[in-house]
Structure 1
Amino acid sequence: MDNMFKLLGFWTGIFAVMFFIGDMLPAALLFVASTGFFLLLGYLNLTERMYMYLFGAYLMVFMVGFSYYSTFIHVPGAGH
């Protein structure tokens, strides 16, 4: 299970680089933070149950944040 978190860290790192190259700095910083979080968890060697609890908590925080952003902050059709 720890290898899966290292793999998640790798892919979020790739996304962070791509967002940075695309000049999307807030998204890149968010993915850099996710990369650090996943890599830290990957090297902790926790039990599989603890990894599942942490991933579930991560998904819950993401969905609450995304729902808040898409409901109250995002302005539809306000592209540049």
Structure 2
Amino acid sequence: MDRMFRVLGFWTLVIGLAALAGEMVPMAMLFFAQTAIFVLLGYLKLSERAYIFIFWGYMLLSFTGFTYWSFFKMSV
């Protein structure tokens, strides 16, 4: 399971680099921070249960944030 967080770190790095190339600096910084967190988590050697809880917490936070931003902050 720890390798999966390293894979998530790789893909968030790719998305961050693409955002940086597209001159979306705040989005790039957000994804670079996620990259650092995922790579760090990938080397912690936690139990599988802990990794599952961390992943579901991340998904809950990101989906809630995305829904809030798209509903309340984006203009129609």
Q: Same fold (TM over 0.5)?
A: yes
For residues 32 and 6 of structure 1, the distance between their equivalents in structure 2, rounded to whole angstroms, comes to 13
Structure 2 matches for 1:43-58, cutoff 5 A?
Answer: 43-58=43-58
User: How many residue pairs get matched?
Assistant: 76
Which protein has the larger Cα radius of gyration, Structure 1 or Structure 2? 1
Unaligned ranges ≥5, structure 1:
none
- TM-score for both structures, normalised by structure 1: 0.91
Alignment of 1:1-80 (within 5 A): 1-76=1-76
- CA RMSD for the aligned pairs? 0.7
Give the distance between the partners of 2:63 and 2:6, measured in 1 at CA: 22
Moved over 4 A (4+): none
CA distance in structure 1 between the aligned counterparts of 2:40 and 2:74, rounded to whole angstroms: 31
Larger helix percent: 2
Could you tell me how far apart the structure 1 residues matched to 2:37 and 2:61 are? 13
Residue by residue, what CA displacement relative to the aligned partner does 1:3-43 show, whole Å, maximum 9, x if unpaired?
11001101110110110011011110110111011011101
Amino acid at match of 1:46: L
Q: Identical aligned pairs, as a percentage?
A: 45
Q: Distance in 2 between matches of 1:66 and 1:54?
A: 18
